[in-house]
Amino acid sequence: MVAPAVEPEERELEAALRPKNLDDFVGQERVRKQLSLVLAASKIRGRSADHVLMSGPPGLGKTTLAMIVAAEMNAPLRISSGPAIQHAGDLAAILSSLTEGEVLFLDEIHRMSRPAEEMLYMAMEDFRVDIIVGKGAGATAIPLELPSFTLVGATTRAGLLPGPLRDRFGFTGHLEFYSVAELELVLRRSAGMLDLKLTSAGFSEIAGRSRGTPRIANRLLRRVRDWALVHGIETIDARSASAALDMYEVDVRGLDRLDRSVLEALVNKFNGGPVGLSTLAIAVGEESETVETVAEPFLVREGLLGRTPRGRIALPAAWEHLGLRMPGNAVA
Ligand code: ATP
């Protein structure tokens, strides 16, 4: 249930819960202050804001911040993504249809094709692109002037961006995982909008299971809301929240079924490892990629799983979390 696939109704709710301005945006103090300065300065200058790069794991608010940049600048927003731009022509079509001051949000910007990326360098710097007409020796470059625009790029992997692209952003904001206290604020705001009543302990219970991620916090809140509705509960306390989330197999540390089965396989079938990723994936009946990209980052961050040159290992906290004693011969 913490997988990225989102139902249409869920998507609508997610959109409704998005903060619309910097004041409503919870946490990320540093990024908020820096961004607010960049926007204020460009408003004073009467020019479109510098290009902004947002980096950080999924669900921490990159898209939300792009929308806020557009709203604060009173500018329209165009949304596209790296994987959707496979040819330079795809990018040229988007850039040439922008209006003066428009904000262009490019999600997963690290996945854009090389030729498009090179076109973007010039567009970001000089608000101009060269459209190549013809092929081979007869090819000519026709310069095309662009309106000034603000590019907001988002990436989960800032390290994958080539230096020349990274350098063309005037400001880079690194989004961090949220503390439990910040997630409680996100949840309070969302509960207000959904007309839900929770006790403080109810909020804490959900926040603690949300993996430092507002998108997950909001999703768990919606599951708890469903549970409370069906059980006729008006005010959701810690016990109700906990019962609801246990039912959805999200445990007290936010591990879901896949996370737990990875740890259980490591511990029960391989005595805590080391074991290769593909063997581990077969043991839990999943694709290697799913284990590597969906479960592992969180388990590593939580200090439950380690990656070694010889394979994955269960760390002492994993045995403890599963209520097991780590045998003396286990590697950790
Ligand atoms: P992805 O990279 O997966 O697209 P993202 O980083 O762009 O994720 P968003 O789509 O901006 O994440 O945020 C996900 C949800 O979390 C939004 O619906 C929004 O309501 C909520 N959210 C994110 N950040 C905050 C915040 N700081 N305060 C309140 N709500 C937030």
β-strands 52-55, 171-174: how paired? parallel
What is the CA(59)–ligand 1 centre distance, in A? 5
pTM of full prediction above 0.90: no
The response to whether residue 170 sits with its C-beta less than 6 Å from ligand 1 reads no
Any idea what the Cα angle at residue 103 is, between residues 97 and 107, rounded to 5°?
95
Instruction: Check if 25 has its Cβ closer than 6 Å to any atom of ligand 1.
Output: yes
- Assess whether the C-beta atom of 18 lies below 6 angstroms from ligand 1: yes
- Cβ–ligand 1 contact at 186 (below 6 Å): yes
Count Cβ atoms below 10 Å from residue 105 Cβ, excluding itself: 24
Q: How far apart are CA 210 and CA 215, in angstroms?
A: 8
- Is the minimum distance from the CB of 106 to ligand 1 under 6 angstroms? no
Is 215 a residue of the active site?
A: yes
Question: Partners of 145 in the beta sheet?
Answer: 128
Whether the CB of 19 sits within 6 Å of ligand 1: yes
Atom 16 of ligand 1 has which residue's CA nearest to it?
215
Centroid of chain to Cα 277? 24
Q: Is 213 a catalytic residue?
A: no
From the CA of 165, how far away is ligand 1's center (Å)? 24
150, 155, 156, 213: the catalytic one is 156
Complex ipTM, two decimals?
Answer: 0.96
pLDDT by position in tens, the chain (length 332)? 444 555 677 778 778 889 999 989 999 999 999 999 999 999 999 888 999 999 998 899 999 999 999 999 999 999 999 999 988 889 999 999 999 999 999 999 999 999 899 999 999 999 999 888 888 888 888 889 999 999 999 998 888 888 889 999 999 999 999 999 999 999 999 999 999 999 999 999 999 999 999 999 999 999 999 999 999 999 999 999 999 999 999 999 999 999 999 999 999 999 998 999 999 999 999 999 899 988 998 999 999 999 999 999 999 999 999 999 888 877 76
**What is the predicted pLDDT for the residue at 1?**
47
Alpha helix stretches (DSSP H) within 209-309: 214-230, 238-247, 257-264, 270, 277-284, 288-290, 296-301
- Exposed/middle/buried for 140, CB within 10 Å: 0-12, 13-18, 19+? exposed
Ligand 1 atom with the smallest distance to the CA of 60 is 6
CA of 142 to the centre of ligand 1 (A): 40
Ligand 1 neighbourhood includes 17 CB (under 6 angstroms) = yes
* pLDDT at residue number 100: 94
The two structure tokens encoding residue 91: 């990018």
Of 63, 64, 172, 213, the catalytic one is 63
